[in-house]
C-alpha cells in the first residue's frame, strides 16, 4: 500500500461526506491534522542528514588540528605535545559548538541504540578536546585568558544543561537502547549512568581549566624572574669572552637560551602541572567508557532511526576516531611532570599533607586584598559589599585548594605507574652494568656530565625542590641538534660561492667615498643593502655577460640580502636607517622580479649605450634626472612618496661617479668582463663585511622579551645558527678592522676606518 498523504486523505474525506453521516465525517477528519503534522515533520527533517554531515565535518576539523599537534610534537621530539594548531580561540570554539550539536538537540527523537551511542560519543569527544586544549591557555595574555575561559564555560554549561534535561525527560534513554545495553552490562539504566558520568567529567574539566587560568599568570611571573637571572648570567659569560667569540662559544650561548626557552615555556610548565595530569586521567577514563559503549554498538551499527539517518553513522565513526586519536596527547602529558625528578622528600610531603603552593591561590588572594570601585554613597552598603566580596573569595580560595589537592591525588595514578616501571627498568640497568666493562667510557661520561652540569644552571624550575631528569635534559639538547642538522642542509650555497670571491673588505671602502658629492641636499646615511642592490643593477645590465653568471650573481645576492636585512633590522633599527632599508627592499623587488631599475629595463638599454663608459654614464645621467624630477614636484606629499626613489637614484649617482673617476681616461679600455668581476668583488666584500655581524645578531636575537614568543624566537635563532655555520666560521678567519663592537653594524664606520688605515 502506498504512503498515506494529507492530500489523499482529504480527497477520501470528501468522498465520505457524500455517503456517510456528518458525525462520522467529523470523526475521520480529526485524523487529518495528525497526518498533516506528520507530513510537515517529514518535510522539515529532509535536510537533517546534511546537518549531520556538517557536524561530522566540524568534528573532522577538530581531529585534524589535534593530530597536527600530535605529529608536530613527535617531529620536534616534545612528547608533552605543545598546542600549536588546536588552541582555544573564537574559531575553535565555534567549530566545537557545531560538533556538539547532537548533545544539545532537545527536539529530535533518537530512539535506536546507535542514535543514543552517538550522543554519548559526542560527550566523550568533548572531554577529549578539552583535555587537548588545556596547555593552550598558557599562550594567552590576561585578557585572552578571561575571554576564552568564559566562552568555554558558556559552551560546556550549555551542553551540560541540555544533557541533564534530556536525562530528566528520558530523551537520552529509550526502552530499546536500555534493554539492549542492559543485557550486556546487566544494568537497565546504563545510558543514564554513562551520561551522568560524562557530565561530571565535563564539569571537572571546566573546573580544572578555570583553576589553571588562575595560576598561569603567576607561573609566568615566576618563570620570567628566573629567566631574567639566567639571561644576565648568559650575557655576562659572553662579555667575558667577547674578544675570542668562536662559533662553538656562540653555539653554547644559544644552547643556554634554548634550555631556558624549553624549560621556561608556559605550555611546558602547564603540561607539568597537577591539573594537566588530572585532565589526562579524566580524558583516558572518558575514552575507556566510550570504548565500552562503542564495542557492542559496532555489531548493531545499522540500528539508527533518527532524522539524521545515515549521517548518524558518519558522525559516530568520525568522533570515535577523534576520541581514540585525541587521547594520545593528554595521556602523554600525564607523565610530563615526571620530566622533573621529584625528591623523595617532595613526594612524601605531597602524599602526606598535599601541600598547595602559594602560586595556586595568589591571584585570588590579590583580588581579596584589592579595593573595588563603588558607585553607591551609602557606607553600610559599601561595608556589606566588601564583606561579601571577602567571603566569596575566601570560599574560592578553599575551593581552589580543594581542586588542587584533588588533581594531585588523581595525578598520583600515572606517577606511581611510571615510578614502578622506572624502578624495574633501573633494576635491569643495574644488573646489566654489573656484568659490563664501563671503565672505557668513564672519561667521556665525566666530561659530558661536567658540560651538562654547567648548562643545567639555566633550567628554569617553577619549584626549587625539582630537578630536571637527565633523560629529559638530553632530549632538550638533542632537539636543538636535530634542528641545526636540518638547517645545515639548507645553507645558502650561492651566497657562499659569491663570498669566495672576496679576499678582504677593501670593497667596502672603494665602492663609494665622501669625495663624491651626491644629488640630495640632505645626504642620507648609507646602509648595507642599498649599495649591494645598486652594484648588482649595474652588473646585470652589462649585455655581453653569460646568462648563467648573471643568474649566479642574482641568486647569491638574493640569499645574501636575507641575512643583510636581518642585520639591519636587529642592529640598525634607528629611524634614520629605516627609510634607506625600505628603499633598498623596494628596489630589489623590482630588480629580482622584472630586471628593472626605477622602471628602466636593465637588459634592454638604449642602442647607443653599449660601452662600459656609456653604461656608467647612462646610469649617472638617469639617476640625476630622477632626482631632479622629484625636486621639481610642487606638492610636498608627492615628494615624500618619491623619497625612496630619490634615495635609490642618489646611491646610483654616487657609485657610478666614483667608478668613472677611478677609471678616468682609461674607461674606454675597460672590458665588460673586467667590470663585471669588479662589481661582483665589490658586492662580495660588502656582504662579507655585513655578515661579520651575524654572531652579534644571533646573540641579540636569543633574548625575547615576550614569554609567549620566546620559544619560537629561539628556534629561529637555532635555525639561523645552522644555516650560517660555515659563513660565520669562514669570516672569523679573516682579519677584521680595529672597530669597537658597537661600530661593526654600520657601513659608514667601516668606510671611515678602512680609508684611514689604507696605504
Cell numbers that stand for 426 in this block: 633501573
Arithmetic mean of pLDDT, 295-306? 67
The pLDDT tens digits of the residues spanning 485-527 come to 999 888 899 999 998 888 778 878 777 756 666 666 566 678 8
Percent of the chain scored above 90 by pLDDT? 25
The alpha-helical segments, DSSP class H, found in 335-378 are 344-353, 358-369
**394-398-402 Cα angle (round to 5):** 165
The alpha-helical segments, DSSP class H, found in 76-101 are 90-99
What is the predicted pLDDT for the residue at 4? 52
Q: Are residues 663 and 564 in the same domain?
A: yes
What is the predicted pLDDT for the residue at 607? 72
The pLDDT tens digits of the residues spanning 567-619 come to 999 888 777 788 888 888 999 999 888 888 888 888 888 777 778 888 888 88
Q: Confidence band (pLDDT; 50, 70, 90) for 267?
A: confident
SS3 per-residue string spanning 694-749: HHHHHHHHHCCCCHHHHHHHHHHHHHHHHHCHHHHHHHHCCCCCCCCHHHCCCHHH
What is the predicted pLDDT for the residue at 257? 92
Out of 110-114, 241-245, 508-512, 562-566, give the one with best mean pLDDT. 562-566
- Which position has the grid cell 650573481? 553
Decide if 465 is inside a domain. Answer: no
Q: Confidence band (pLDDT; 50, 70, 90) for 34?
A: low
DSSP secondary structure code for residue 86 in this structure: S
Question: Which residues neighbour 524 within 8 Å (Cβ) at sequence distance 6 or greater?
Answer: 576, 579, 580, 647, 650
What is the predicted pLDDT for the residue at 738? 83
Q: Is 342 helix (H, G, I), strand (E, B) or coil?
A: strand
Q: Are residues 646 and 614 in the same domain?
A: yes
Decide if 304 is inside a domain. Answer: yes
Q: Give the separation between CA 7 and CA 13, rounded to whole angstroms.
A: 10
SS3 per-residue string spanning 10-57: HHHHHHHHHHCCHHHHHHHHHHHHHHHHHHHHHHHCCCHHHHHHHHHH
Q: Confidence band (pLDDT; 50, 70, 90) for 33?
A: low
| Contact between 115 and 62 (Cβ < 8 Å) | no
Q: Give the separation between CA 340 and CA 532, rounded to whole angstroms.
A: 51
What is the predicted pLDDT for the residue at 447? 41
Output the CA–CA distances (angstroms, integers) from residue 709 to 143, 599, 704, 716, 720, in the order listed. Answer: 17, 40, 7, 11, 17
Question: Which residues neighbour 563 within 8 Å (Cβ) at sequence distance 6 or greater?
Answer: 492, 495, 690, 691, 694, 724, 727
Q: Are residues 426 and 532 in the same domain?
A: no
Q: Give the separation between CA 294 and CA 116, rounded to whole angstroms.
A: 11
**b/e sequence 152-180, b meaning 16+ C-beta within 10 Å:** beebbeebbebbeebbeeebbbbeebbeb
Q: Does residue 435 carry a pLDDT above 70?
A: no
Range of the domain at 390: 343-436
Q: Which of 32-41, 465-474, 634-643, 715-724 has the lowest mean pLDDT?
A: 32-41
Decide if 236 is inside a domain. Answer: no
Q: Give the separation between CA 91 and CA 450, rounded to whole angstroms.
A: 48
Q: Give the separation between CA 595 and CA 604, rounded to whole angstroms.
A: 10
Q: Are residues 307 and 414 in the same domain?
A: no
What is the predicted pLDDT for the residue at 86? 94
DSSP secondary structure code for residue 227 in this structure: H
Cell numbers that stand for 253 in this block: 650561548
The alpha-helical segments, DSSP class H, found in 170-189 are 175-185
| Contact between 639 and 633 (Cβ < 8 Å) | yes
Q: Give the separation between CA 586 and CA 534, rounded to whole angstroms.
A: 12
Q: Does residue 38 carry a pLDDT above 70?
A: no
Decide if 252 is inside a domain. Answer: no
What is the predicted pLDDT for the residue at 437? 40
Q: Does residue 669 carry a pLDDT above 50?
A: yes
> Closest by alpha carbon to 264, among 706, 691, 730, 718?
706
| Contact between 647 and 580 (Cβ < 8 Å) | yes
Q: Give the separation between CA 124 and CA 105, rounded to whole angstroms.
A: 16
> Closest by alpha carbon to 524, among 472, 593, 578?
578
What is the predicted pLDDT for the residue at 473? 81
Decide if 479 is inside a domain. Answer: no
Q: Confidence band (pLDDT; 50, 70, 90) for 464?
A: low
Q: Give the separation between CA 545 and CA 704, rounded to whole angstroms.
A: 46
Q: Which of 221-235, 343-357, 406-420, 741-755 has the lowest mean pLDDT?
A: 343-357
Predicted structure pTM score: 0.79
Decide if 192 is inside a domain. Answer: yes
Q: Which of 277-286, 359-368, 681-690 has the lowest mean pLDDT?
A: 359-368
| Contact between 127 and 205 (Cβ < 8 Å) | yes
Q: Is 181 helix (H, G, I), strand (E, B) or coil?
A: helix
**170-174-175 Cα angle (round to 5):** 125
Q: Are residues 614 and 637 in the same domain?
A: yes
What is the predicted pLDDT for the residue at 205? 96
Backbone φ and ψ for 102, nearest 5 degrees, come out as: -65, -50
Output the CA–CA distances (angstroms, integers) from residue 727 to 367, 480, 642, 688, 730, in the order listed. Answer: 54, 20, 37, 9, 5
Q: Are residues 642 and 619 in the same domain?
A: yes
Higher per-residue pLDDT: 376 or 735:
735
**b/e sequence 64-81, b meaning 16+ C-beta within 10 Å:** ebbbebbeebeeeebbbb
Decide if 478 is inside a domain. Answer: no
The pLDDT tens digits of the residues spanning 58-88 come to 999 999 999 999 999 888 778 788 899 999 9
Q: Are residues 162 and 186 in the same domain?
A: yes
Cell numbers that stand for 53 in this block: 554531515
Question: Which residues neighbour 134 within 8 Å (Cβ) at sequence distance 6 or greater?
Answer: 208, 209, 212, 270, 275, 276, 279, 330
What is the predicted pLDDT for the residue at 124? 94
Q: Are residues 329 and 430 in the same domain?
A: no
Arithmetic mean of pLDDT, 514-541? 79
The pLDDT tens digits of the residues spanning 170-204 come to 777 655 555 555 545 545 577 788 889 999 999 99
Q: Are residues 324 and 399 in the same domain?
A: no
Out of 106-115, 327-336, 528-537, 750-759, give the one with best mean pLDDT. 528-537
What is the predicted pLDDT for the residue at 577? 81
Adjacent-strand bridge partners of 468: 340
Q: Confidence band (pLDDT; 50, 70, 90) for 48?
A: confident
Q: Is 74 helix (H, G, I), strand (E, B) or coil?
A: helix
Question: Which residues neighbour 656 within 8 Å (Cβ) at sequence distance 6 or greater?
Answer: 538, 616, 617, 619, 620, 623
| Contact between 561 and 593 (Cβ < 8 Å) | no
Q: Are residues 213 and 349 in the same domain?
A: no
| Contact between 154 and 209 (Cβ < 8 Å) | no
Arithmetic mean of pLDDT, 249-275? 87
Q: Does residue 305 carry a pLDDT above 70?
A: no
Q: Over the chain, what is the mean pLDDT?
A: 80
Q: Does residue 453 carry a pLDDT above 70?
A: no
What is the predicted pLDDT for the residue at 149? 94
Q: Does residue 661 carry a pLDDT above 50?
A: yes
Q: Does residue 16 carry a pLDDT above 70?
A: no
> Considering its fold, how many domains does the chain have in total?
4
What is the predicted pLDDT for the residue at 536? 92
What is the predicted pLDDT for the residue at 92? 94
Q: Give kind and range of the element (H or E) at residue 589.
A: helix 575-594
Q: Give kind and range of the element (H or E) at residue 395.
A: helix 379-434
The pLDDT tens digits of the residues spanning 205-244 come to 999 999 999 888 888 888 888 899 888 888 887 776 555 6
Arithmetic mean of pLDDT, 633-662? 77
What is the predicted pLDDT for the residue at 442? 33
Q: Which of 210-214, 425-429, 665-669 has the lowest mean pLDDT?
A: 425-429
What is the predicted pLDDT for the residue at 436? 44
**548-554-555 Cα angle (round to 5):** 90
Decide if 363 is inside a domain. Answer: yes
What is the predicted pLDDT for the residue at 636? 59
Q: In this structure, what is the dihedral angle of CA atoms 179, 181, 184, 190, given to the nearest 10 degrees?
A: -110
Q: Are residues 320 and 395 in the same domain?
A: no
Q: Are residues 358 and 330 in the same domain?
A: no
Q: Does residue 31 carry a pLDDT above 70?
A: no
Percent of the chain scored above 70 by pLDDT? 77
Q: Give the separation between CA 294 and CA 313, rounded to whole angstroms.
A: 12
Amino acid at each position: 500500500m502506498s504512503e498515506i498523504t494529507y492530500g489523499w486523505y482529504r480527497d477520501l474525506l470528501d468522498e465520505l461526506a457524500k455517503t456517510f453521516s456528518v458525525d462520522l465525517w467529523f470523526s475521520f477528519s480529526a485524523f487529518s491534522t495528525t497526518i498533516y503534522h506528520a507530513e510537515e515533520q517529514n518535510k522539515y527533517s529532509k535536510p537533517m542528514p546534511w546537518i549531520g554531515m556538517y557536524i561530522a565535518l566540524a568534528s573532522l576539523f577538530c581531529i585534524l588540528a589535534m593530530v597536527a599537534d600530535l605529529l608536530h610534537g613527535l617531529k620536534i621530539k616534545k612528547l608533552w605535545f605543545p598546542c600549536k594548531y588546536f588552541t582555544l580561540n573564537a574559531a575553535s570554539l565555534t567549530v566545537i559548538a557545531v560538533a556538539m550539536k547532537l548533545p544539545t538537540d532537545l527536539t529530535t527523537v533518537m530512539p535506536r541504540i546507535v542514535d543514543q551511542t552517538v550522543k554519548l560519543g559526542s560527550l566523550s569527544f568533548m572531554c577529549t578536546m578539552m583535555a587537548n586544549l588545556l596547555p593552550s591557555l598558557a599562550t594567552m595574555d590576561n585578557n585572552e585568558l578571561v575571554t576564552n575561559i568564559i566562552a568555554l564555560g558558556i559552551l560546556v554549561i550549555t551542553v551540560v544543561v541540555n544533557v541533564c534535561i534530556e536525562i530528566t525527560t528520558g530523551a537520552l534513554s529509550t526502552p530499546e537502547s536500555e534493554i539492549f545495553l542492559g543485557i550486556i552490562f546487566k544494568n537497565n539504566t546504563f545510558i543514564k549512568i554513562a551520561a551522568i558520568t560524562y557530565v561530571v567529567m565535563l564539569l571537572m574539566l571546566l573546573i580544572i581549566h578555570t583553576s589553571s587560568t588562575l595560576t598561569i599568570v603567576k607561573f609566568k611571573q615566576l618563570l620570567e624572574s628566573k629567566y631574567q637571572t639566567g639571561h644576565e648570567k648568559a650575557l655576562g659569560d659572553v662579555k667575558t669572552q667577547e674578544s675570542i667569540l668562536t662559533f662553538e662559544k656562540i653555539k653554547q650561548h644559544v644552547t643556554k637560551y634554548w634550555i631556558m626557552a624549553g624549560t621556561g615555556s608556559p605550555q611546558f610548565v602547564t603540561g607539568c602541572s597537577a591539573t594537566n595530569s588530572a585532565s589526562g586521567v579524566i580524558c583516558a577514563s572518558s575514552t575507556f567508557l566510550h570504548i565500552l559503549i562503542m564495542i557492542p554498538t559496532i555489531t548493531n551499527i545499522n540500528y539508527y532511526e533518527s532524522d539524521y539517518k545515515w549521517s548518524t553513522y558518519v558522525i559516530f565513526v568520525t568522533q570515535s576516531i577523534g576520541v581514540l586519536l585525541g587521547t594520545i596527547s593528554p595521556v602523554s602529558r600525564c607523565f610530563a611532570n615526571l620530566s622533573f625528578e621529584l625528591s623523595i622528600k617532595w613526594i612524601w610531603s605531597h602524599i602526606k599533607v598535599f601541600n598547595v603552593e602559594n602560586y595556586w591561590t595568589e591571584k585570588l588572594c590579590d583580588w581579596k586584598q584589592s579595593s573595588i570601585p563603588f558607585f553607591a554613597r551609602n557606607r553600610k552598603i559599601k561595608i556589606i559589599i566588601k564583606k561579601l566580596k571577602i567571603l566569596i573569595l575566601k570560599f574560592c580560595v578553599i575551593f581552589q585548594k580543594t581542586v588542587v589537592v584533588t588533581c594531585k591525588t588523581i595525578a598520583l595514578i600515572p606517577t606511581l605507574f611510571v615510578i614502578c616501571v622506572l624502578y624495574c627498568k633501573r633494576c635491569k640497568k643495574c644488573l646489566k652494568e654489573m656484568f659490563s666493562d664501563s671503565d672505557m667510557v668513564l672519561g667521556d661520561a665525566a666530561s659530558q656530565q661536567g658540560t651538562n652540569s654547567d648548562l643545567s644552571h639555566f633550567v628554569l624550575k617553577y619549584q626549587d625542590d625539582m630537578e630536571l631528569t637527565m633523560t629529559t635534559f638530553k632530549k632538550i639538547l638533542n632537539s636543538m641538534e636535530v634542528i641545526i642538522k636540518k638547517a645545515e642542509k639548507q645553507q645558502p650555497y650561492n651566497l657562499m660561492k659569491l663570498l669566495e670571491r672576496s679576499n678582504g673588505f677593501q670593497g667596502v671602502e672603494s665602492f663609494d667615498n665622501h669625495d663624491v658629492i651626491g644629488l640630495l641636499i640632505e645626504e642620507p646615511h648609507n646602509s648595507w643593502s642599498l649599495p649591494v642592490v645598486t652594484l648588482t643593477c649595474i652588473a646585470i645590465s652589462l649585455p655581453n655577460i653569460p646568462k648563467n653568471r648573471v643568474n649566479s650573481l642574482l641568486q647569491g645576492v638574493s640569499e645574501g640580502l636575507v641575512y643583510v636585512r636581518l642585520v639591519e633590522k636587529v642592529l640598525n633599527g634607528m629611524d634614520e636607517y629605516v627609510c634607506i632599508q625600505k628603499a633598498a627592499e623596494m628596489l630589489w623587488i623590482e630588480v629580482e622580479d622584472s630586471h628593472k631599475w626605477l622602471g628602466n629595463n636593465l637588459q634592454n638599454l638604449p642602442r647607443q649605450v653599449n660601452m662600459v663608459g656609456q653604461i656608467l654614464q647612462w646610469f649617472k645621467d638617469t639617476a640625476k634626472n630622477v632626482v631632479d624630477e622629484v625636486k621639481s614636484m610642487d606638492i610636498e606629499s608627492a615628494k615624500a612618496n618619491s623619497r625612496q626613489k630619490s634615495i635609490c637614484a642618489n646611491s646610483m649617482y654616487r657609485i657610478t661617479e666614483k667608478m668613472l673617476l677611478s677609471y678616468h681616461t682609461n674607461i674606454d679600455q675597460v672590458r665588460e668582463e673586467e667590470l663585471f668581476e669588479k662589481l661582483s668583488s665589490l658586492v662580495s666584500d660588502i656582504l662579507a663585511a655585513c655578515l661579520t655581524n651575524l654572531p652579534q645578531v644571533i646573540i641579540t636575537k636569543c633574548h625575547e622579551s615576550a614569554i609567549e614568543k620566546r620559544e619560537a624566537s629561539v628556534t629561529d635563532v637555532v635555525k639561523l645558527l645552522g644555516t650560517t655555520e660555515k659563513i660565520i666560521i669562514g669570516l672569523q678567519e679573516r682579519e677584521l678592522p680595529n672597530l669597537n663592537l658597537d661600530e661593526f653594524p654600520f657601513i659608514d664606520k667601516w668606510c671611515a676606518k678602512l680609508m684611514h688605515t689604507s696605504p
